[in-house]
Amino acid sequence: METKLQKPFVINDDNVAHYATKIATWIAQQVTAANRKGVVLGMSGGIDCSVVACLCHLGKIDTHLVMMPYGNDMTNTRSSQHALELIQKFNFAHHTFDIQPAVDALTITNVTFLGQAATVNRALSQANIRPRIRMTYLYQLAQLGSRFVIGTGNMAERTVGYFTKWGDGAADLNPLGMLTKQEVYTLARYLGVPDSIIDKKPSAGLWEGQTDEDELGMTYGQIDAFILAGTSGDENIDKLIDQRIALSAHKFAAVPIFND
């Protein structure tokens, strides 16, 4: 079946060393060309940010990682422990910033506004404050140190619009944007990402117990298949992916500007 999406390369075990070096070099070139001193990266303890961190390490890029929990959520899910395993293995500069006070200060509690909202809108509007606060902090930190904010969104997430607009979708450069989730895992194993990170279920950390695949209603394997073969192998999932592509088109489009 004809591929629906443009995927100019595929990373596998045979060529992973080549692509790891190529991507790491590309990151370094982007940083140098913009006369930046390095990058800042939000570290959730997940697979995507861990791979990006390791690519930066491979490219010898000055990298500062920031863990940004909401209260104890990263401790409760062991994400902070996983992040520290990576940090200690590669000796990354890092610090922690608790976003809870900022998130709570910006959360709307007006019962009139909340009462007018659908349940799903109310939940998502609150959950999306977290990635937007995190990105605001990263951009201030980057500007203080003349650095870039480096993104972590992969092609599977981008395909279905699984990111927060002006939140984790905001970055100065994105090395994983054309990589399927499986390709991210292939890189992770090659780069030496700890097994504790590779083996756990992907989660955006939007709320307690949240996992990406449960929220999406499909697996990353199905999305990857859709990207590479034009179908997930399940007609209903294909329709759901098409619906998500249509609904998230605004996330990729330029802001409309009136021009008479």
For residues 59 and 24, the answer to whether their CB atoms sit within 8 Å is yes
Q: Give pTM, 2 decimals.
A: 0.93
pLDDT at 1: 32
pLDDT at 76: 86
Per-residue pLDDT reduced to its tens digit, 23-54: 999 999 999 999 999 999 999 999 999 999 99
Integer Cα distance of 49 and 227 in angstroms? 21
Band (201; pLDDT cuts 50, 70, 90):
confident
pLDDT at 206: 60
Q: Going along the chain, which residue ranges are E strands?
A: 39-42, 63-67, 93-96, 148-149
Residues of the chain with pLDDT > 70: what percent? 95
pLDDT at 2: 39
Per-residue pLDDT reduced to its tens digit, 147-177: 999 999 999 999 999 999 999 999 999 999 9
Integer Cα distance of 137 and 94 in angstroms? 14
Band (114; pLDDT cuts 50, 70, 90):
very high
Q: Share the mean pLDDT of the chain.
A: 94
For residues 143 and 137, the answer to whether their CB atoms sit within 8 Å is no
**Range 16-206: architecture per CATH:** 3-Layer(aba) Sandwich (3.40)
Range 127-143 average pLDDT: 97
Integer Cα distance of 79 and 28 in angstroms? 28
pLDDT at 6: 77
Ramachandran angles phi, psi of 93, nearest 5°: -65, 140
